Amino acid sequence: MTRLIINAMLAMAVALVSATTAFAAAEKVGAAACAGCHADKADSLKGTAHGKRLEAIKGVAPEQACETCHGAGSLHAEAGDTKEIFNPGKALGEKASEACLNCHSGDRTRMFWAGSAHDGKGESCVSCHKVHGGTDLLLKKKTEVELCLSCHKDVKADIAKRSKHPLRDSSSKTGEGKMTCSSCHNPHGSRSEKLIAAKSINDKCYECHTEKQAAVLWEHAPVKEDCMTCHSPHGSSNDKLLVVKVPRLCQSCHMQGRHQSGTLAANSAYATGRACLGCHSMVHGSNHPSGAVLQR
């Protein structure tokens, strides 16, 4: 509790310092003065978390709200000189995020922001959020998926493939949209690779595909190691999100045996239909007493 209070006090102190260092000669004039020329911007805050919750949570009175993000504005308010006011929308990377982190650095979901993939590549809070007139959660686009895909074109191509996680925009006619990117990623940073919002990639997969985590009598070694050895996360033109088609997938590791390697005759049971899976159907592991070769 004390720690929370100290954090809050620190955050406020930082807010005051950064606001005053940016425009040393300027003083605060209050939101009413700003609204005199920017009524639309003041209105756009009304229904949002900032409009409603700032005072309750951070002790910032509504009449100070503008200047917590834009810096003290008395010089700018004289004649609207844009050089005398800070606009996070035009600032770059870290500088823009600073205006937000003054209040948001203590949030648990952003513990790993500093140096994370987005921060490290010069993206900022305002790459994704729009404070004035954003949608739910102040996102810049209508939906989260649309937001992420606006930069990540490769993933956009993947989720249109034959096998995929149900990620396409929920407004699309296919009725997809049961998941979003943040079902698996934390765009604000994470302690694991690729912004995965779990201890590891496998742990993330187990959250929904729990049965794959269960202990089995006969394990298939690569499964507990890394699901990504055989699956791609977003989409694939092979069945079941597989990175390579069966039997080639299996043969990439099993080359020494008798029936499973070499060039298979085109009509061979080992190559056609479900190929290897026709007999080795328990590819994630088997619980059957005689399932040693994953066949039941």
State in angstroms the smallest separation of the CB of 260 from ligand HEC.
3
Candidate list 6, 9, 13, 49; residue touching ligand HEC; CB under 6 A: 49
CA-based R_g, the chain, Å: 27
Say how far apart CA 93 and CA 195 lie, in whole Å.
18
State in angstroms the smallest separation of the CB of 166 from ligand HEC.
5
Say how far apart CA 158 and CA 154 lie, in whole Å.
6
Which of residues 22 and 179 has its CB atom nearest to ligand HEC in the complex?
179
Options 1-9, 16-24, 73-81, 169-177: segment touching ligand HEC (CB under 6 A): 73-81
Helix/strand/coil percentages in the chain, nearest 5 = 45, 5, 50
State in angstroms the smallest separation of the CB of 23 from ligand HEC.
10
Show the DSSP H helices in the chain as ranges: 2-22, 31-37, 39-45, 49-58, 65-70, 74-79, 93-104, 117-120, 125-128, 144-149, 153-158, 201-208, 221-225, 248-251, 276-279
Which of residues 6 and 37 has its CB atom nearest to ligand HEC in the complex?
37
Site for ligand HEC, residues 220 to 259, rule: CB under 6 A: 220-223, 227-231, 233-234, 240-242, 246-247, 249-254, 257-259
Candidate list 19, 23, 42, 286; residue touching ligand HEC; CB under 6 A: 42
Asked if residue 187 has a cis previous peptide bond (ω within 30° of 0), the answer is: no
- Paired with 218 in beta bridges are 286
Q: Does 33 bind ligand HEC (CB under 6 A)?
A: yes
Q: Does 173 bind ligand HEC (CB under 6 A)?
A: no
CB atoms within 10 A of CB 203: 13
Two tokens, residue 271: 């190559």
State in angstroms the smallest separation of the CB of 242 from ligand HEC.
6
Q: Mask 196-215, x = binds ligand HEC (CB under 6 A)?
A: x----xx-xx-xxx--x---
State in angstroms the smallest separation of the CB of 54 from ligand HEC.
5
Say how far apart CA 286 and CA 267 lie, in whole Å.
28
State in angstroms the smallest separation of the CB of 261 from ligand HEC.
7
Residue nearest to ligand HEC (CB): 73
Spell out a b/e string for 181-200, using b for 16 or more CB atoms within 10 Å of the CB, else e. Answer: bbebbbbbbbeeeebbbbee
Q: Among all chains, which residue has been given the structure tokens 């049961």?
A: 178
How many of the chain's residues bind ligand HEC (CB under 6 A)? 135
Q: Does 37 bind ligand HEC (CB under 6 A)?
A: yes
Candidate list 19, 169, 185, 285; residue touching ligand HEC; CB under 6 A: 185
Q: Does 8 bind ligand HEC (CB under 6 A)?
A: no
Two tokens, residue 265: 């005759």
- Report DSSP state, residue 265: P
Q: Does 280 bind ligand HEC (CB under 6 A)?
A: yes
Q: List the one residue out of 96, 67, 72 whose CA is nearest residue 23.
A: 72
State in angstroms the smallest separation of the CB of 2 from ligand HEC.
20
Two tokens, residue 97: 């995020």
Q: Does 216 bind ligand HEC (CB under 6 A)?
A: no
Phi, psi of 75 (to 5 degrees): -70, -40
State in angstroms the smallest separation of the CB of 108 from ligand HEC.
8
Candidate list 97, 169, 285, 286; residue touching ligand HEC; CB under 6 A: 97
